[in-house]
Amino acid sequence: MNILDQIVADKRIEVNLRKQLIPITQLEQSVLFNRETYSLSNKLKNSTTGIIAEHKRRSPSKLVINQNLNVFDVAKGYQKAGVCGISVLTDAKYFGGSLDDLLTARASCNLPLLRKEFIIDEYQIMEAKAYGADVILLIAAILTRDEIKRFSQLAKSFNLEVLLEVHNEEELHKSIMPSLDMLGINNRNLKTFDVSLENSKTLSELIPNHFVKVSESGISSIEAIKELQPYGYKGFLIGENFMKTDDAGKNAEEFIKALEK
């Protein structure tokens, strides 16, 4: 079993337990459930920098990135830095995140928040809304076309935007549909952890132009972004490069300033 299969197998068990702990009717009663959401796709369209900064303590590929920062300060710092949106990892077992992290980020800033999660069930989309997300991630590698359709349509019905993540051409062809807002090309292969920015470059021309294009993972320099912009990318998802320092917000601020020059 590869790591992605393992994560999904664990996630199914977790989601089944969660459903029993907090029924959907209770999620719907969250004060956040009916809030007006922020649009990440609009922010990216109108931005010259397009940074989506991630809160990420650890990952299967990098065992410890940073356990010392608190998500409230990180989100505040990212907002001050001028990012377009914040991605919050909510998986506990492999990434050390939680839904409480999402809620805390919601309390600390007024930017679009992406729930970064392995979504395999409608229930997790309800959770995303109840805990303050604006955008959900759907990962093509772990979903059928029918699931992508059902999940994205459900998200849209709650005014959540959808970032669909693909890693190769096959996943891209399987996923294209009108209910998606943004298409993310992951430079990291989630099964092998190999990272290559070339992935964003080669797949870019296959993405229909009306989708906002996002390049994800392994981005650590201004040069990388300048290289990707001519391929039509408007969004750049950066985690480790910001999180590995003592002050993720300050790091993002300096990065964005340099990018604006």
Residues that bind ligand IGP (CB under 6 A): 54, 56, 116, 139, 165, 186, 216-219, 237-241
Of 43, 87, 108, 116, the catalytic one is 116
Number of H helices, E strands in the chain: 12, 8
From the list 217, 234, 241, 253, the catalytic residue is 217
Give catalytic status of residue 45 as yes or no.
Answer: no
| Nearer to ligand IGP (CB atom), residue 103 or residue 137 | 137
Check: CB of residue 238 under 8 Å from CB of residue 218: no
CA 62 – CA 247 distance, rounded (Å): 19
CB-nearer residue toward ligand IGP: 134 or 165: 165
Looking at beta carbons, which residue is closest to ligand IGP?
Answer: 239
Give the C-alpha separation, 35 to 42, whole Å: 18
Give the whole-angstrom CA distance, residue 150 versus residue 148.
Answer: 6
Asked if 215 and 187 touch (Cβ cutoff 8 Å), the reply is yes
Catalytic residue among 11, 41, 43, 56: 56
Task: Identify whether 216 is a catalytic site residue.
Answer: yes
The answer to whether residue 76 is catalytic is: no
Say whether 250 is catalytic: no
CB of 219 vs ligand IGP, minimal distance in Å: 6
Q: Give how far the C-alpha of residue 217 lies from the chain's centroid of Cα atoms, to the nearest Å.
A: 10
Instruction: Let me know if 116 is a catalytic residue.
Output: yes
Which are the catalytic amino acids?
A: 54, 56, 116, 165, 186, 216-217
